[in-house]
Structure 1
Amino acid sequence: MQGDATLVFYLIGLTAIMMASNKVRYDLIALIVLVTLALTGILTPTEAVSGFGATIIIMVAGLFVVGEMLDRTGVARTVGDLILKQGKGDEVRLMIPLCVGAALLGSVMSSTAVVAIFIPIVMRIARDTDINAARLLMPMSYGALLSGMLTLIGTPGNLAVSDALRDATGEPLGFFSFSLVGLIVLAGTVLFFAFAGRHLLGPKYADGSDQPRSRSRSFAEMYRDHGVERVEVIRLAQAYEGAAAREFELSAPRILARRRRGPRGNANTSLYSAGMDFQPGDLIVVTGSEAEIASFCDRPGLDHVCSFYDDMNAWIDTLGIMEVMIHPEASVLGQTIEDLEFRSTYGLEVLALKRGSEPVLDFEEEKLRKSDRLLVAGKWTRLDRINRRSRDFVILEEPHERSLSVPNSNKLWIAMIILFAMIGVSLGGMSITIAVILAAIAAVLTGTVTTNQAYRSIKLDTLVLIAGMLPLATALDKTGGTDMIVNALIGMAGEENPRAVMFAMFVLTMSLSWILSNTATLVLVAPIAVNAALSMGVSPLPMAIAVLVAGSAGFASPVSSPVVTLVVNPGGYKFIDFLKCGLPMTLLVAATTLFLIPVIFPF
């Protein structure tokens, strides 16, 4: 068996080299591992593919659906908007909720998805406040990485640790078993960046020239530089009811939308329709010439708030803006905007027309020519519909804000109820696997995601990676490799010193996680850690939690996790930036593991 164990060790080393090279997909590597174990006879074919039948696979698939629900209903974006509102331009007040918010949200959905959602939010905050985005992006990504230390579903690797503990003792980890440890590390992370870490990431202020700009803002500048149409947000500051409301409606330039604050503080945005009621405090989007807007805003009881383009994210779920070009063979050639009755026909408002490089004045009565460009506004569904009329209109480029729109924002509270119900029933004793499946089913039945969207959200490469790496742990155990590693660690650390063995496991896990994926590392190391504790006659719980914490401690390398890799380009980071902030963070987590875990979870 020793020869087989040696072969498994060589296979682990080769797996690490292939993953570190970034030249072979991780899921393909996992399949290579699986096939190799079967062809060499170390595992039977049934044992080699047994990972695909593991409960962790169906649970992770369900969690992808739950994460999609949170994304499509706007739960994640709502968190980002609250951060911008509460931060009030102060760097630390922005950094803290970004870090904590990413950690908390990542604890119940994909942390990679959280970072992807938060990046445009952080970039917008940086643009609006002129704060260097690099000083916000890294704390946010580290917070998302720490989410794996907060809940059982924070990362798929945690489930592997729980399974290893259950197999050995019959008791899996609870949903919040180790949350106290994660919260302490999170608090230390916030303090580190508040007082020292952010100063290692460049100057506080940036000139903004290298920040990505909103495509819609560029549209606005391209047209309004010539004084054609303006799109402005105004607030009704006096009572506009009954006859006054009708008079307001008739005297206003073209009205596009209304946003009204509800009794619970939630904003409800609606596209304009004839006879719409107006109340004090309503925000109204109007469009017209500069003279029309100026004259209208001078009326009593109307307060000009800002340009619509400066506040577009607040309206994004209802009102979008896009530039389209008239197809050279379009059926609308030779007709005017008025002839087409554009608003009633397409459900869109034409804001401007540009011919060549010049905007056209009084464009409503101008006959359309081939290659004319229209700036149109309306519901995203309507904009998507006009996009499908490819024989008449050609979408030149979608605005950046299109990716930020939330298609099912009206079902946000349903998503929140499903999420908290999933957590609640798992805390009440229901199997976390069953709880996740029920949540995924509820997401589909309530319409927060469609069946097709649910299936598309499941990342098969991640499932294949997990299923392919699980047999490697089985092979280690079957060939005696696990016992060899356990005995070696105990021999180095001392059989009477479980704390030292625990710390050795921490270092081993963290080192492997910089090369392998977080999930692959935990799948591999968790059974070793549990067996080491059992062979020493001590509780395996602190050993398992130390390994779990180490799996989410890949701070010092930009390629340790997609959660960190995602912010490299937007933040303009270099490898040294991760060393400067990552090494102190690693020491923080190591100290927590060595001194705190045995106190909270005695051996």
Structure 2
Amino acid sequence: MNPVALVAIIVAAAIVLFMWNRLPVAVVAMLVCLSLWASGILSLEQALAGFGDPVVIFIATLFVVSSALEITGVTAWIGKHLIRVAGEKSRSRFVVLMMSLTAMLTMFVGTAGAVVALLPVVIVISVRLGRKSSQLLMPLAFAAHAGSMLALTGTPVNVLVSDAAVDEGFAGFGFFEFALVGLPLILGSMAIVVLLGARLLPQRNGAAIPADFSRHARTLVEQYGLGNDIHRLRIRGSSHYVGRAPSTIDLAPDEGMQLVAVHEGDTARPISRPHIAEGDHLLLRGDAHVVAKFAADTHLSFRDHTGGADDILFTHKSGLAEVAIPPRSGLIGQRVFPGMVTESGDLIVLAVQKAGAPIDEIEPQSQTGAIVLGAGDTMLLQGTWKALDTRLSDPDVLTVGSPDLVRRQAAPMGSEARRAAFVSAAMILLLVTGLVPPAVAGLLAAGAILLSRILTAEQSYHAIGWTTVVLVAAMKPLGTAMTETGAAQLAADQLLSVVGQSSPTMLLAGLFLLTALLGQFISNMATALIAIPIGVAAAAGMGISPRPVLMSTAVAAAAAFLTPIAAPANALVMGPGGYTFGDYWKLGLPLLAWFFVVAVFIVPLIWPF
């Protein structure tokens, strides 16, 4: 069979499978890759070349950098503080600020990352404003699409079009060069949402509202009756506790105090050494005046903390988690008590409730005050975030809530957040200056994140969106096949026969409509990988620069507004916003029209043909 016909069949089958949505997109992409090899169109080396492509490597590193910003609380911190500026009265002011913030975050953490970071904050604000979540969440997602055109790192499509320009012998697009169209896109999107959004968006709340964990720590300490009674005391070198075993600390003579934990240094971990040393910390529960007197008598450093127990127990190093005992748990029948270190040695039992009642309201079942755990009992655990991540997967307990989401939404920023911000800024500087190729800048940033222990190797692995990586790597050889067989040239000739040879503007219009239409049903990455070689071949056929054609293609790929399956950001807000499939096109059509205007008429003014 003619190679061009084979490529056409493979492309058509891929589009159908993408739209069918029964197979994972990565599987469809791999089928495309293998089909190109099995049909003899590409050699094995050509078919698998995408997996070693610098663009694919750069995209993978962006996921690691984005995750570092999220997990250290940088994105949540920015979201909370900037959205607070909007106030709680003006819908228009809030929408403009929300969309601006979303667009800025998208430059660094991608569309899905920005939406995930701001989704719970926007939901809380919608309640305070007395508005339905459906009025705000779709603009949140659509702002991320426009914001993806502000910088090279906004979306992998931007990296692809820049790389395609280089492949054709032209200069790639600079890091912030995308902002020349990104700014008109986001400003126009804001105007459309402010003027038309209230009428075009439904008035409803979603059933699947993500939990707001911004006050989670305070809720837990209040529920377990800890209140303001937790105090953190530092062991001084002159204290008689230095050199003694933690088990020898006896608070019996000091009425109204209870030893909660002994932390090793500033680590927020239970002490693992046999003896207490200077710099260790005691967590005590009791009245502040009593604790202050005890600290003075025993040479401990005490500072009256007015922020509450949650500020002491919930930091950038350590957190809280509530767990329940399920039926058939191996912990049923075991004795526990507040202050007890778990068997793993890295978590502390702060409080226990039986049938909703705190342990100190239950008659002790032993002289130590321990109780026997039963199904349905709950415990409040404290430990480092790493310990919580590791230990709470134990099948003997059921975790209430998500410690990972709690950390991302509410944990105070510490030195890790500053390091993550510094690494991200350094990567952006390298990309802006062009000192090293993008893949090298990304690898240096990801390596710095690992070496500085912002993320572990396992966290970095899980942070990478492997579906996107495999999709790009497996579909990239399709461009090679379309070029080498002449399929791209044939498609370009057909497009030119429709739009005419003499009008580059009509070429942009036709290519935009083709790309945007496909992008409503299949991944914008897959769409771009199909459209880019067609656009490049059409530009060559007309004898014009491919740069405006490629930028127009990137804008079209970002215009994923009409369906919830067009982009992950659209799907993320569907449940919380209570949207139906048919809600998206109402606001999406005006936005799509604006993107068309920018792609067809503004792009050529900036990058001439």
Aligned to 2:388: 384
1:230 CA displacement:
6.5
Separation of aligned partners in 2, 1:317 and 1:446: 15
Question: 1:220–1:46: structure 2 CA closer, same or farther, 3 Å change rule?
Answer: closer
Separation of aligned partners in 1, 2:74 and 2:447: 18
| Greater mean deviation of Cα atoms: 509-518 or 363-372 | 363-372
Asked whether the equivalents of residues 317 and 405 of structure 1 are also in contact (C-alpha less than 8 Å), the reply is: no
1:600 CA displacement:
1.8
Aligned to 2:596: 590
Aligned to 1:196: 196
Aligned residue runs from structure 1 range 272-311, under 5 A: 275=300, 277-278=302-303, 283-286=306-309
Question: 1:417–1:214: structure 2 CA closer, same or farther, 3 Å change rule?
Answer: closer
Aligned residue runs from structure 1 range 501-516, under 5 A: 501-516=507-522
Structure 2 residue 422 is the aligned partner of structure 1 residue 414: no
Structure 2 residue 141 is the aligned partner of structure 1 residue 118: no
Aligned residue runs from structure 1 range 470-509, under 5 A: 470-509=476-515
1:169 CA displacement:
2.2
Question: 1:49–1:389: structure 2 CA closer, same or farther, 3 Å change rule?
Answer: closer
State the SS of the aligned residue for 1:196.
helix
String of CA shifts for 1:474-507, please: whole Å, max 9, x gaps: 1111121111122222222222211111111111
Aligned pairs, number: 540
Structure 2 residue 458 is the aligned partner of structure 1 residue 452: yes
Question: 1:256–1:75: structure 2 CA closer, same or farther, 3 Å change rule?
Answer: farther
Asked whether the equivalents of residues 555 and 582 of structure 1 are also in contact (C-alpha less than 8 Å), the reply is: yes
Question: 1:52–1:329: structure 2 CA closer, same or farther, 3 Å change rule?
Answer: closer
String of CA shifts for 1:112-145, please: whole Å, max 9, x gaps: 2332233233333334554322222111111222
Separation of aligned partners in 1, 2:179 and 2:511: 20
Question: 1:105–1:335: structure 2 CA closer, same or farther, 3 Å change rule?
Answer: closer
Unmatched tracts of structure 2, length 5 or more: 231-253, 262-280, 285-294
Separation of aligned partners in 1, 2:325 and 2:431: 53
Asked whether the equivalents of residues 103 and 147 of structure 2 are also in contact (C-alpha less than 8 Å), the reply is: yes
Asked whether the equivalents of residues 145 and 564 of structure 1 are also in contact (C-alpha less than 8 Å), the reply is: no
Question: 1:319–1:599: structure 2 CA closer, same or farther, 3 Å change rule?
Answer: same
Asked whether the equivalents of residues 185 and 589 of structure 1 are also in contact (C-alpha less than 8 Å), the reply is: yes
Question: Structure 1 length as normaliser, TM-score?
Answer: 0.79
Structure 2 residue 54 is the aligned partner of structure 1 residue 50: no
State the SS of the aligned residue for 1:8.
helix
Aligned to 2:524: 518
Separation of aligned partners in 1, 2:222 and 2:434: 61
What letter is aligned with 1:413? R
1:202 CA displacement:
3.0
Separation of aligned partners in 1, 2:100 and 2:315: 26
Asked whether the equivalents of residues 325 and 395 of structure 1 are also in contact (C-alpha less than 8 Å), the reply is: yes
Structure 2 residue 227 is the aligned partner of structure 1 residue 231: yes
1:277 CA displacement:
4.5
Separation of aligned partners in 2, 1:348 and 1:17: 54
Aligned to 1:462: 468
What letter is aligned with 2:132? N
Question: 1:353–1:185: structure 2 CA closer, same or farther, 3 Å change rule?
Answer: same
Question: 1:181–1:335: structure 2 CA closer, same or farther, 3 Å change rule?
Answer: closer
1:382 CA displacement:
9.2
String of CA shifts for 1:387-414, please: whole Å, max 9, x gaps: 56979xx534322465230488431121
1:271 CA displacement:
9.5
Aligned to 2:373: 370
Separation of aligned partners in 1, 2:123 and 2:561: 21
Separation of aligned partners in 1, 2:121 and 2:98: 10
Aligned to 2:539: 533
1:583 CA displacement:
0.7
1:574 CA displacement:
0.7
State the SS of the aligned residue for 1:555.
coil
| Greater mean deviation of Cα atoms: 547-556 or 177-186 | 177-186
Question: 1:398–1:472: structure 2 CA closer, same or farther, 3 Å change rule?
Answer: same
Unmatched tracts of structure 1, length 5 or more: 235-249, 258-269, 287-307
String of CA shifts for 1:167-207, please: whole Å, max 9, x gaps: 11242121122212111111111122222214432338x6x
Aligned residue runs from structure 1 range 94-133, under 5 A: 94-133=94-133
Question: 1:143–1:440: structure 2 CA closer, same or farther, 3 Å change rule?
Answer: same
| Greater mean deviation of Cα atoms: 445-454 or 412-421 | 445-454
Question: 1:203–1:312: structure 2 CA closer, same or farther, 3 Å change rule?
Answer: farther
1:15 CA displacement:
0.6
Aligned to 1:568: 574
Asked whether the equivalents of residues 324 and 376 of structure 1 are also in contact (C-alpha less than 8 Å), the reply is: no
Separation of aligned partners in 1, 2:313 and 2:370: 33
Asked whether the equivalents of residues 150 and 183 of structure 2 are also in contact (C-alpha less than 8 Å), the reply is: yes
1:551 CA displacement:
0.7
Separation of aligned partners in 2, 1:213 and 1:18: 35
Aligned residue runs from structure 1 range 255-274, under 5 A: none
Separation of aligned partners in 2, 1:13 and 1:448: 44
Asked whether the equivalents of residues 112 and 569 of structure 2 are also in contact (C-alpha less than 8 Å), the reply is: yes
1:379 CA displacement:
3.8
| Greater mean deviation of Cα atoms: 370-379 or 471-480 | 370-379
Aligned to 2:433: 428
Separation of aligned partners in 2, 1:450 and 1:73: 13
| Greater mean deviation of Cα atoms: 11-20 or 590-599 | 590-599
Question: 1:210–1:477: structure 2 CA closer, same or farther, 3 Å change rule?
Answer: closer
Separation of aligned partners in 2, 1:313 and 1:86: 28
Aligned CA-pair RMSD? 3.8
String of CA shifts for 1:219-249, please: whole Å, max 9, x gaps: 9999989xx8363699xxxxxxxxxxxxxxx
Question: 1:346–1:554: structure 2 CA closer, same or farther, 3 Å change rule?
Answer: closer
Asked whether the equivalents of residues 208 and 575 of structure 2 are also in contact (C-alpha less than 8 Å), the reply is: no
State the SS of the aligned residue for 2:227.
strand
What letter is aligned with 2:552? A
Asked whether the equivalents of residues 162 and 172 of structure 2 are also in contact (C-alpha less than 8 Å), the reply is: yes
Question: 1:323–1:454: structure 2 CA closer, same or farther, 3 Å change rule?
Answer: closer
Question: 1:568–1:33: structure 2 CA closer, same or farther, 3 Å change rule?
Answer: same
Aligned to 1:16: 15
Asked whether the equivalents of residues 313 and 401 of structure 1 are also in contact (C-alpha less than 8 Å), the reply is: no
What letter is aligned with 2:451? L
Aligned residue runs from structure 1 range 206-221, under 5 A: 211=209
Asked whether the equivalents of residues 331 and 373 of structure 2 are also in contact (C-alpha less than 8 Å), the reply is: yes
What letter is aligned with 1:120? P
1:95 CA displacement:
2.8
What letter is aligned with 1:60? I
Aligned to 1:168: 168
Structure 2 residue 157 is the aligned partner of structure 1 residue 157: yes
1:572 CA displacement:
1.0
Separation of aligned partners in 1, 2:499 and 2:154: 31
Question: 1:446–1:385: structure 2 CA closer, same or farther, 3 Å change rule?
Answer: closer
What letter is aligned with 1:398? V
Separation of aligned partners in 1, 2:379 and 2:302: 27
Separation of aligned partners in 1, 2:72 and 2:139: 25
Separation of aligned partners in 2, 1:485 and 1:569: 39
Separation of aligned partners in 2, 1:276 and 1:518: 58
Aligned to 2:406: 404
